[in-house]
Structure formats: C-alpha cells, structure tokens
Amino acid sequence: MAEKSTRRSGAVIMASLIALLGSLAYIMLLAVINGSLGFICAMGVPLAGAMAIAKAMGEHIPLSYGFLIALAVGCGVLRGLLRYFEQYGNHYIAFRLLAVLRDKIFGALRTLCPAKLEGKQKGSIIAMITSDIETLEVFYAHTISPICIAVIVSGAVVIFVGVVSSWYLALIALLGYIAVGIVAPMISSGKLKASGVRYRGEFASFNAYFLDSIKGIKDIVLNNAGEMRKEEVNRRSDLLLGETKKMKHDITRAGAATELMVSLFIFAALTAGIILVHMEMLSLGRMIIGVVAVFGSFGPVIAISALPGNLTQTFASGDRMLDLLAEKPAVTPVENGRKFHFEDLKVTGLDFSYDGDTQILADVCMHARKGEIIGIVGESGCGKSTLLKLLLRFWQKSHGQIAYNGTDIEQIDTDSLLDNVTMVSQVTYLFDETIADNLRIAKPGATDAELEEACRMASVHNFIMTLPDGYDTRVGALGDNLSAGEKQRLGLARAFLRGSDLILLDEPTSNVDSINEGMILKALRQQKNKKSIILVSHRESTMAVADRIYRVKNGRLYESK
Ligand SMILES: Nc1ncnc2c1ncn2[C@@H]1O[C@H](COP(=O)(O)OP(=O)(O)OP(=O)(O)O)[C@@H](O)[C@H]1O
Ligand SMILES: [Mg+2]
C-alpha cells in the first residue's frame, strides 16, 4: 500500500493531520494562547527590570517601582503556570488523538482484512501501530503550537519594541526571527532530511536483518551459517553507526549555526541601539528596554529551528498513516444484506485474478448441497486456497456467480455469510492465551463440554489432556512446542465448535498421521448429514471420504469420480 501511493507534500500532510484534530482544535487554541502568554511573561521579568533602570535614569515610565517589582514577580510565577497549562493542553490533545487514531487504524484494518493484510504488508502495519503513531505525538504536542507561538510572540515583540523603543530595533528583530525561524531551517532541512532518511533507512534495515536472523536462528545453526551472519550483523552495525554520527554531526552543526545567528542579531540590535542613542534618535532608557526585549525574544523561533529534524520523520509517519486510512479494501462488507441458512452452494462461470493480469481461476463451476462432502484436489499453487477465500468473499470475484441458496454472495450480509461458512486455513494462528480461550474465539459462550466434544472430533482432546493444565494451559507457555499437526487439529476443533453449516477445510490433515487422520475423517463423516464440507487436499486417502471430487487444472475445475 505505502509504496503504491503518490507522496504527499509536507503542507498537505500537515493540513490533513490538523484536520484530524476535529473538536480538539479549541484545546489546541487554548494551548497556543497559554504558550504565547507564557513566553511573553518570561520576557516580562527582565523587561520589568529594564523599565525600572530606565525610570531610574529619568525616563518617563508611568508605572511605580512597586508595580514594576510586582510585575517581575507576577510574570515569573505566571510563566510557570502558563507553561504548565500549555504543555498539559498539548499532551492532552496528543494522547487523546493518538487513541482516536489507533481506533481509526484498527477500523481501517478491520475493513482491509484479510485480503489486503496478507504477506508483506503485515510488517509495515505493525510498525505503524507501534512507532508511527508514537511519532505523531511529536506533531500534535510539539509542532503545531510552537509554530503558532513563534508567530504570535515574535509579532508582539516587534510591535512592542517599535512602539516603546524604536522601529529600527523592531526591524532588526524581525529580520532575526525570519533568519532564525524560516531561512535557517529551510537551508538546513534539506541536509538534515537527507541524513535523517539515510539514518532511518539503515536503522530499519539493521533491525529487520537482526530480527530476521533471530527468527531464523534454527536454520542458521542447521546450515552452520552463524559466523557469516555475525559478520554481516557487524558490517551493518558499523554502517548504522556511521550514519548516526553523520546525522548527529549535521544536527549539531545546524544547532550551532542557529545559536551563532541569534548572537549576531542580538549584537546587531545592541550596536544599532548604541548608534541610535549616539545620534540622539533614541533615549538610553528606551534603548535598554528595546534591546532587553529583543534579547529575550528568540526562544520561540529557536524552538522552530529545532523542528525540521523531527518533522521529516513525523511527515513520513503521517504519510504512511494517511495512506492506510485512504486505502480501499479489496471488498466492502455488505451490511443489511440478505440473511440465509445454508442449504446449497452453486458456483457458475467464476473467474478470478489477484492483479488483473494473471488469471488464477477461469470459468469455475461447482456445487455443494447440505449433507455432501466435496473434495478439491490439484497441484500446489493452482488456486485451491484462492477458491475457498472467494467462497468467503475475502476477495472480489472478477466474473461469474457464487450463490448461496440461490442468492449471489454480493447480496449476502457479511455477518450472515461468516456465520454460515467457516474456513480452517492452511496455517492456524494460536493466540498467547489458554487453549480454551483459543477455542472459544469460535464460540465465545461455549461450555466446557462443547469444547471437549469439538476437540474429540478434531482428535486433539487426548493430546490436550496430556498438557500440564489441560484446557487451561497457556499456548505461550508451550513456546513453539506445539507440533504443526497439533495446531492444525486445534484449528479444526475451532471449526467444529463454531458449528457453521458449511465448513471449508484447506488441507486439514496435511500434518496429521494416518491414525489421527482416520479419526478426523470419521468425525467429518458423522457430521455430514447436518452440514456440508468442502475439503481441499493433496492426499488420495483424504479424498476417500468425499462424495464428489473436483480437480483443478489450469485454473479450471473438472468433476471426477
Ligand atoms: N494475495 C495474493 N496476491 C497475489 N497472488 C496470490 C495471492 N495469494 C496467492 N497468490 C497466487 O495465486 C496462486 C494460487 O494460490 P493458492 O494459494 O490459491 O494455491 P493453492 O492451490 O492453495 O496451493 P497450495 O496447494 O500450495 O496451498 C499462486 O500462484 C499464488 O502465488
Ligand atoms: Mg493452498
């Protein structure tokens, strides 16, 4: 998904992210006001002092000394409170929004699932839920309000210095803000962006390689490839270190340039002030007030100049998230569609292709009635699993009809479809919960007796009883110790427990020995009268249980037997 979409510009990402603020925008406004007033209060402390000095030098200041002292103290105290409220507001928004965004992402995943979440995209989605969302915290808590605050505070200082002291000093301050807050970040951002992108690229690649090595450690040991892997890890680690150093170097240089620029503008303001006093265009007292105001006013623009490094990362995260939210599901769930109780399935003229080019299934026709076991055989990669997924509408068929009780699948309510049809896929995922919890996702209120019955049918009850806590054994506690066949049988037990009238079994016995297979097939045969079962398998022994068999060849289905 991410790689397909066109990149958005920074401004578009920012606008889209701000639009997500919604009703929280007024809290953001409060935070900005608090932050701006906070900075102004911070400047108020030295300014009150400067005014007191100016007054002592005979300048006409219509404020008493007592008031000026109270102003300094008041500003100091208020500064703290206002800063607190600003930070509180920003973080309140940020974390509230993160919760909302997570919710939106899970919502998006729910509709995209399962078709668009197969394979390679899984990793990037996990990254999104964990790190991208966290990165956006920086945007909401530490980006929008600093920019607004810098504009407001700088504007206020320019006007204050212009009115109270001199418009020349105000002009120097304005130039300083533009240089530090806009020009400098624009110059450095290109460089910082490039080094940031290289660093994150190396970081991601190092992490992926390292995690992959840990996951595949068994195969590394089996192939005696440890030394080679270690060398590669070291090489990549050195590369990462190099990129980190370069990035830190660039950031430090940009920071130093900013500080230097600030010092230069303060020096320029002071020099200009002295010249103005010399030329008798400004009194000494007002010069001191003006210069002190300029001195203390660079904080907000320095904060902005520190943003670009963070921002590129934030925009990349924001971009990925907007991509996911904009991603169209392969199929849209049917709400308020036709509900049904499975009696028969009829597939006619079904065509399907994943990418629009390679035809996987062509003109497929098949049917199944209640009480039948249908076998589907065919070589690996011929499209058997694909057919089962289409029967559950995980993907959109290209042409043809898939009709349940005579109603096309497109008109059937998605919930009703999932209630009537259950699939046991080739790989069963077990959650890190107890065996019983893992089974109950198929039927939340199932009694212990129901669990046991389903497990007996799937020929896994005896195995569960050998576990330390029986049905209450945590799957995580077993580590990877469940065999492929045990997992497969637990998947089958889920399907039996769910009790749907049409069960799709994708290689249900591929990892099971012949004794257990026999027991499972017997259970299937016993179920037969009440249900319909579509069974995909390579094994002829499994197919013995089928009433009718379809063979897949070149994307077409041929009935045999
Ligand atoms: N999500 C997908 N996107 C694109 N192509 C896919 C996708 N899933 C499967 N394919 C391709 O479609 C073809 C049919 O895959 P399918 O999984 O249906 O085969 P199968 O008959 O079940 O094979 P096996 O017996 O090995 O399980 C394969 O060439 C596979 O690579
Ligand atoms: Mg398959």
> Which residue type occupies 197?
V
Residue with CA nearest ligand 1 atom 31: 381
Nearest CA to ligand 1 atom 3: 354
Q: What is the 199 CA–ligand 2 centroid distance (Å)?
A: 40
pLDDT, average across residues 180-206: 83
Mean pLDDT computed over every residue of the chain: 88
* Phi-psi region at 479: left, alpha or beta (left = phi > 0; alpha = psi -120 to 50): left
Expressed in angstroms and rounded, the spacing between residue 561 Cα and the centre of ligand 1 is 26
Average pLDDT value for residue range 426-455: 92
* Global pTM value: 0.69
Ligand 1: lining residues by beta carbon, under 6 Å:
118, 354, 360, 378, 380-386, 426
Distance 115 CA to ligand 1 centre (A): 12
H or E segment and range at residue 400: strand 399-404
Bridging pattern class, strands 421-424 and 502-506: parallel
Buried b (16+ CB within 10 A) or exposed e, 39-70: bbbbbbbbbbbbbbbbbeeebebeeeeeebee
Ligand 2 mean position, distance from CA 356 (Å): 20
The CATH class, in words, for 344-560 is alpha beta
Which of 100-109, 126-135, 164-173, 493-502 comes out lowest in average pLDDT?
Answer: 126-135
Taking 3-state DSSP, the helix, strand and coil percentages for the chain, each rounded to the nearest 5, stand at 65, 10, 25
Top CATH class, 10-326: mainly alpha
- Give the residue among 38, 130, 132, 32 at the shortest CA–CA distance from 90: 32
Q: Are 65 and 49 in contact (CB under 8 A)?
A: no
What pLDDT band is residue 2 in, cutting at 50, 70 and 90? very low
The answer to whether the CB of 180 falls within 8 A of the CB of 261 is yes
Residue 513, both tokens: 């020995």
> What whole-number distance in Å separates Cα of residue 300 and Cα of residue 146?
7
Confidence of residue 5 (pLDDT cuts 50, 70, 90): very low
Mean pLDDT check: name the lowest of 101-115, 119-133, 378-392, 405-419: 119-133
**Closest residue (by CA) to atom 6 of ligand 1?**
354
Which of 360, 364, 423, 537 is the best mutation target for the ligand 1 pocket, counting ligand atoms within 8 Å of the beta carbon and taking the most? 360
Structure tokens at 294: 């300029």
Q: What are phi and psi of 164, to 5 degrees?
A: -80, -35
Under 8 Å between Cβ of 537 and 375: yes
Residue range 353-399, pLDDT digits in tens = 988 888 999 999 999 999 999 999 988 889 999 999 999 999 989 99
Lowest mean pLDDT among 23-37, 119-133, 296-310, 414-428: 119-133
Domain with CATH 1.20.1560.10 in the chain: 10-326
What pLDDT does 121 receive?
A: 61
In the chain, which segments carry CATH 3.40.50.300? Answer: 344-560
DSSP 207-257: HHHHHHHHHTHHHHHHTT-HHHHHHHHHHHHHHHHHHHHHHHHHHHHHHHH
